Chains A and B, each alone.
Chain A
Amino acid sequence: MSNTNYASAVAAVKAMESSLLTQSELEQLINTSSAQERANLISSKRGTGNETLDLEAAWETVHSYAPESRELEILLYRNDFHNLKAALKAMVADRDPERYYIKPTNIDLPEFTKLIRAKEFDMLPDHLKETAAEAYELLTRTLDGQLADSMIDTASLAAMQKSAAEFGGDFMKRYADLMTVCADIKTAYRCSKMNKPRQFLETAVCGCGEMDKESMIRAALGGTESFLSYLETTAYSEAGKLLSESAAKFEKWSDDRVMELAETARLQAFGSDPLAAYYIAVEAEQKNLRIINICKESGADSETITERMRKLYV
């Protein structure tokens, strides 16, 4: 009876997947002429009057099915670390961080704000405490927000990899690696364009098993051509081509790779992987709906919007 965990949760998630938008429904949405028409289309799909699948609600559902799964919490690490950035910067600027927070998150935000303000970093969740103390010290010493942001972003990727190795399965390890590779490629390319020094690159690039940190830094220090040539020698040569065309194309490529990975997880009948895949799918759907709304508001044509659509799960 091994590997039959979460049989109930996986079946429930598969039932919920039927409320996700399909490719043809997305095309219908792209061809709508007003926000009201889009809202009506989505409402008729969901059949509940809900226009959007709320990401927070999706997380609550997934988490309620597997409350003890620390593996799933890795999905929210990016939000946790973003909230850390927001809290630290708000503290230094003496502002209220509440409006800068992203949800869902693994942390209790009011308590988190209090702890940050009191500089009680040791009381923070394990994956945040060290980074919080280091980032605070860096921010107050250098007053360089960009450097602190880079440091926190890198720490977030490293925490994902560490937690995935510690209590994650194969899917979560591949997810953490993929997120790291995509973030590192983007960061290293930007740094190569802006001629950032080695010291900055060492803080901003995380590295993982697939993409060695030192090789990436060396390639980025040689300029964009050198970095793109380096990517040609890796499994991510396509990413390099897209990156040189536009950042938006690279972002879409990254999101599509994550969705392809989620597709492998959703085929599992048991375990927490399909739950993670469902959450990733809801995230992608929200991103697609946001892109449609923004593009429609700015008057973009249907072809342009279609090009920007992320891969779908269903």
Chain B
Amino acid sequence: MTNIGIALAVIGAACAALFAGIGSAKGVGLVGEAAAGVVSVDPSKFSKVLILQLLPGTQGLYGLLTAILMLSRVGIIGGTPADLTAAQGLMFLAASLPIAIVGLFSGIAQGRAAAAGVGITAKKPDHNGKGIIMAAMVETYAILALLISILLIYNISI
């Protein structure tokens, strides 16, 4: 059980990438469905709906970033894993939770908002920006969660 600390940190990194990635996949998939519906009727709107489809993809990137930073901090990426106690490992696991949980739910919620925004683009292409802004508002909370996760990762003393 000497490696329990590092194991918990790895689980934390995996959670960050996993849950935020699931959120993004679901969100991007949903917007993709809506976008495909519009493009099937009017292919000229492809570029406009593509921007909306990209929006829920950021949570997955935040999860990836968090996982890489965490693995780097605990020395896994460098090839020399730190000697972490169980308490330190748990702290790393806790540090991954903000982006893991918020990433999951905000990815799905942003997907819904962006899919509804696709409807605006479909009907009033000139108002495409409004749909993007409304979907982008959800991003705020993913960024806040990312910020907290990063602050925690860099402030856990090893």
Contact = CB atoms under 8 A, between A and B. Distances in A.
Interface stretch (B7-15, B26-34, B79-87): B26-34
B40 A12 contact: yes
Interface string A5-17: 0011111111111
B68 interface: no
A12 B118 CA distance: 10
A1 interface: yes
Instruction: Classify the secondary structure of A's interface with B.
Output: helix
Interface residues of A, number: 17
Nearest to A17: B123
A146 interface: no
Assign chain B's interface to a size class: 20 to 34
A18 interface: yes
A8 B108 contact: no
Given A7-B33, A8-B33, A8-B36, A14 B122 contact: yes
A8 B49 CA distance: 12
Interface string B130-148: 0000000000000000000
Given A7-B30, A16-B41, A1 B108 contact: yes
A39 B5 CA distance: 77
A279 interface: no
A13 B123 CA distance: 9
A11 B122 contact: yes
A136 B108 CA distance: 54
B42 A15 contact: yes
B38 A4 contact: no
Interface in B32-76: 33-38, 40-42, 45
Interface of A: 1, 4, 7-18, 65, 269-270
Across the A-B interface, give the 4 residue pairs with the lowest CB-CB distance, nearest first: A8-B37, A12-B37, A269-B116, A11-B37
